[in-house]
Structure 1
Amino acid sequence: MSWQAEEITIGELAERSGVPASALRFYERQGLINSRRTSGNQRRYHRTTLRKVAFIRASQSVGIPLSVIGEVLGFLPADVAPTREFWLRASECWSTELNDRIARLERMRDLFTECIGCGCLSFEQCRLVNPRDVLGAEGAGPHRLR
Structure 2
Amino acid sequence: MAWNSRELTVGQLAERSGVAVSALHFYETKGLISSRRTAGNQRRYSRDTLRRVAFVRLSQRLGIPLKTIKDALAELPEERTPTRDDWARLSGAWRRELDDRIEQLQRLRDDLTDCIGCGCLSLDRCALANPYDRLGEEGPGARRIDTHVRPPAPQCR
TM-score of the superposed pair, with normalisation by structure 2: 0.78
* Distance verdict in 2 for CA 1:140–1:114, change over 3 Å: closer
TM-score of the superposed pair, with normalisation by structure 1: 0.83
1:121 aligns with 2:120: yes
Q: Which residue of 1 aligns with 2:20?
A: 20
Contact 1:48 1:79 in 2 (8 A): no
Counterpart Cα distance in 2 of 1:13 and 1:120: 48
Deviates more, 1:18-27 or 1:126-135: 126-135
Larger RCO: 1 or 2 (CA < 8 Å, sep 6+): 1
Shift of 1:131: 3.2
Contact 2:135 2:143 in 1 (8 A): no
Counterpart Cα distance in 2 of 1:122 and 1:75: 50
Aligned residues: 144
Identity in percent: 51
Counterpart Cα distance in 2 of 1:46 and 1:79: 10
* Distance verdict in 2 for CA 1:80–1:144, change over 3 Å: farther
Counterpart Cα distance in 2 of 1:43 and 1:97: 35
Contact 1:37 1:43 in 2 (8 A): yes
Contact 1:17 1:53 in 2 (8 A): yes
Computing the radius of gyration from Cα coordinates, the structure with the larger value is 2
* Distance verdict in 2 for CA 1:134–1:79, change over 3 Å: farther
Shift of 1:94: 0.5
* Distance verdict in 2 for CA 1:80–1:138, change over 3 Å: farther
Deviates more, 1:134-143 or 1:73-82: 134-143
Counterpart Cα distance in 1 of 2:139 and 2:7: 61
Instruction: For structure 2, list consecutive stretches of 5 or more residues without a partner in the other structure.
Output: 150-157
Instruction: For structure 1, list consecutive stretches of 5 or more residues without a partner in the other structure.
Output: none
1:90 aligns with 2:90: yes
Q: How does 1:38-57 map to 2 (within 5 A)?
A: 38-57=38-57
